[in-house]
A = this chain, B = another copy of it.
Amino acid sequence: MFECFEAYITPKVDLTKEQLRYMCSLATVRKVRRRQLLVKEGEVCRHKIFISKGLLRTYRLKDDGNEYIMRFSPENSWNVDHESYNNQTPTKYNVDALEDSELLLWSKEDFDELIAAIPAIRAFSDRIKESSYDASQERVLMNISYTAEEKYEDFITSFPDIFRRVPLHMVASYLGVSRETLTRVRQARFKQQKDN
């Protein structure tokens, strides 16, 4: 059950066997099925979630009745709403599974303990946060400077794997364009490729 996680973390963090065992001992395993809701708006995000298998999706429900997708979390990535997790305040997001998934959960109490005990884990956790922040900045830039076509292009080159695994209308939601526009963009692109 923990092999995936060990394979993931070993090259990234320099841990002794005991430290790794300790870290794993604090985690709880959870399996969720496709379409199952994992975190609901209004709840507190109590765990750091590592996805060892599957695919999660974080989205916001707005008054207009639409879902807006903030993030996809495939295997070997983390899903945490830092705002809710850090302050233990209600989250604004929903998280559900797009595929049957296997997760490792650490409660905040346990993870805080881990961080205090093993500085390398703290540093690693900080690095993860940094890079999601950087990604968020890039996404803002994309949002304000790209056309629909460029957004599509960017998505399929940045996340080819996720693109293959999620329905188009979710990519559209992530990018902030309508699904119809996205199919048209894709058609145009397809024609263009044939012409060359």
Contacts and interface: CB of A to CB of B under 8 A. Distances in A.
Contact of A140 (B70, B82, B130, B134): B70
Interface stretch (A7-15, A48-56, A60-68, A153-161): A60-68
A137 B176 contact: no
A83 interface: yes
Interface string A164-180: 00000000011110000
A19 to B, nearest CB: 22
Interface centre among A86, A130, A133, A173 (most CB of B within 10 A): A133
Contacts of A1: none
| Chain A residues touching B, range | 20 to 34
A30 to B, nearest CB: 24
A143 interface: yes
Given A133-B136, A136-B133, A145 B66 contact: yes
A33 interface: no
A38 B177 CA distance: 36
A145 B70 contact: no
A68 B145 contact: yes
24 contacts: A60-B141, A60-B145, A62-B145, A68-B141, A68-B144, A70-B140, A82-B130, A82-B134, A83-B133, A83-B134, A86-B130, A129-B129, A129-B133, A132-B133, A133-B133, A133-B136, A136-B136, A136-B137, A136-B140, A140-B140, A143-B176, A144-B174, A144-B176, A145-B176
Q: Top 8 nearest A-B pairs by Cβ distance? A: A144-B176, A143-B143, A136-B136, A83-B134, A133-B133, A68-B145, A139-B140, A68-B144
Interface of A: 60, 62, 64, 66, 68, 70, 82-83, 86, 129-130, 132-134, 136-137, 139-141, 143-145, 173-176
Given A70-B140, A144-B173, 12 more contacts: A62-B145, A66-B145, A70-B137, A129-B129, A129-B133, A132-B133, A133-B133, A133-B136, A139-B140, A143-B143, A143-B144, A144-B175
